[in-house]
Structure 1
């Protein structure tokens, strides 16, 4: 299929479903501005996901994508809220600048995305190692797994971190 034909199909798909999706999101978010932003994010994923002519149930497909987009939106919002709460506890003279805050928040979102991409046990091993500074043996005992599995999970987690840092 030619690029021009695909563009026409995408435009028709967008025109046919955008208002419905934005209304669906507005009901769940309670904010028309956030709904408009997330509707656009959802349609960006439609473009990246597949050819629209292959979508049998457009509204079900859009709702599934939109739920994922909303989940990520809420995670980012919760992360930002937690960060701002911690900043409020810092004495003003020690608080980072607005630019540094933006950079820190971006880094936190990247870390959250990497951790979210890991399997739960891999993430758990990584966090026990990095945040609680447990040894591999201690992690193995706590999670009732062999040290070699802990080592393999840490390798997977570190690889994910390195790949994200290179991106």
Structure 2
């Protein structure tokens, strides 16, 4: 088993040497920032290290690395969107309400967890939750907007609230 681990490590090292420059360049073109590109390229190989699969079975290493990096890039953009939305909302608050950088980081992390949770829910469930919580819409108004019954909105909200509770229980 230790020999398999060594072979795997050597294969990943070879992938890194042969394709890191290409991957970094592709990410730099996508992001327009060499530092973020380097971080995401590194994260791609870290993700590769965490995968439990036969690396020798990868026939198209660049396509495989591209797929991993693209997922990380999407997560990066989503995080930036959430952070920017939070900062925009924060800018509208009086200075007395402003929180410390540490609090802001915790809030952004919480928002990202909520965003991720909502992304895993069916579209109508997350839409109903957001309409209720962010826009203050009534269940009747949400039902009309989504083209479902008010009873279905209650089910959607119960499902979303259950997932919120489960999110609170996560470490």
Q: Normalised by the shorter chain, which TM-score bucket?
A: 0.7 to 0.9
Q: 1:134 offset after TM fit, Å?
A: 4.0
Distance 1:82 1:130, change over 3 A: closer
- Please name the residue that 1:156 is paired with: 159
1:62 aligns with 2:65: yes
**Counterpart for residue 38 of structure 1:** 40
Partners of 1:82 and 1:138 lie apart in 2 by 25
Q: How does 1:44-123 map to 2 (within 5 A)?
A: 44-51=46-53, 52-123=55-126
State which of 107, 130, 135 in structure 2 corresponds to 1:132: 135
C-alpha distance in structure 2 between counterparts of 1:63 and 1:77, whole Å: 20
Taking the aligned partners of 2:56 and 2:151, their CA distance within structure 1 comes to: 47
1:104-132 deviation line (CA, Å, top 9, x unaligned): 22222222222222232221122123223
**TM-score using structure 1 length:** 0.83
Instruction: Name the Cα RMSD after superposition.
Output: 2.3
Runs (5+) with no aligned partner, structure 1: none
SS in 2 for 1:56: coil
List per-residue Cα deviations over 1:6-39 (Å, max 9, x = no partner): 2222222222221211111111112110100111
Residues 152, 41 of structure 1: CA spacing in aligned structure 2 closer, same or farther, 3 A cutoff?
farther
Change (3 A) 1:94 1:65: same
What SS is found at the alignment partner of 1:47? helix
State how far apart, in whole Å, the 2-side matches of 1:148 and 1:47 are.
47
> How many residues are paired up?
167
Summarize the Cα distance change of 1:20–1:153 in structure 2 as closer, same or farther, 3 Å threshold. same
1:10: which partner in 2? 12
**TM-score (normalised: structure 2):** 0.81
